[in-house]
Structure 1
Amino acid sequence: MTSPATVLPTVHWDAEADFLLPPPDPRQRLDMAAPAVLKPRDRHRLSLHATLTTAGIPPHPDDAAAIDALSTLDDTVALAVCRWLGAHARTATPLT
């Protein structure tokens, strides 16, 4: 039997309306306090993607090699790059 939490809503593409996803199942969440959930390289890669996108610089598929190279650096360097991009996002003037 299928529980209501696992049933996804049907999309009516003709309606051009948003639809809500069901709430996440707490039993399927990762324990982020566990030390081995994400390796530092994966954490840095995700953080760089999120920071670039937040700064208004969505990563291009051709940027994957550069992001991967930056992800191999230590925590101090990865945090500095994210901090620089975050500062840029706060001070950048929107294009008109």
Structure 2
Amino acid sequence: MAAWQDSAFSTMTTDRATATVTATAPETGSTVDPYRGSGAGDFLLAAPAPERRVPMQLSPMDRRRLDLHAALTTAGIPPLPGDLEAIEALCLLDDRTNATVQRWITSTP
């Protein structure tokens, strides 16, 4: 087995016509899609315990910057390197103005 292959699967095949990848699990012989998981469910990490979190408050400017980045990302607009200066300038504005800009980005009333 090549180093790049996942050892959890005995064989992997790719159908280039449909861009489908399937793998055969060695213990069961069943075919699964390694990119969709085994169907057993997601194994999400638990949220950290509140008492173990670092007691640090974000400044209003940092919170607005994160909110703007989140709004742009949600809208599918990746910030370009030159956009970071504009985001910094917008973060200096008050919360109400920032909420308006975010509403424009996400197009929600």
| TM-score bracket relative to the smaller structure | 0.5 to 0.7
1:84 correspondence with 2:107: no
CA distance in 1, matches of 2:52, 2:78: 29
Give TM-score, length-normalised by structure 2.
Answer: 0.53
Post-superposition Cα deviations, 1:19-76, rounded to whole Å, max 9, x if no partner, equal 9564232133356xxxx71111001100000000111101123311111111011111
Residues 41, 22 of structure 1: alpha-carbon distance in 2 compared, 3 angstrom cutoff: same
Structure with the higher helix share, 1 or 2: 1
Where in structure 2 are there 5+ consecutive unaligned residues?
7-33
CA distance in 1, matches of 2:68, 2:102: 6
| C-alpha deviation, 1:85, in angstroms | 0.7
Residues 22, 41 of structure 1: alpha-carbon distance in 2 compared, 3 angstrom cutoff: same
Where in structure 1 are there 5+ consecutive unaligned residues?
1-12, 91-96
CA distance in 2, matches of 1:40, 1:30: 18
Residues 14, 24 of structure 1: alpha-carbon distance in 2 compared, 3 angstrom cutoff: farther
Per chain length, whose mean CA-contact separation is higher, i.e. which structure has more relative contact order (CA < 8 Å, sep 6+)? 1
Amino acid at match of 1:74: D
Partner of 2:46: 23
Return the index of the structure with the highest Cα Rg: 2
Percent of aligned pairs sharing the same letter? 44
CA distance in 1, matches of 2:87, 2:5: 38
Give TM-score, length-normalised by structure 1.
Answer: 0.59
Structure with the higher strand share, 1 or 2: 2
Output the aligned Cα RMSD. Answer: 2.7
Partner of 1:71: 91
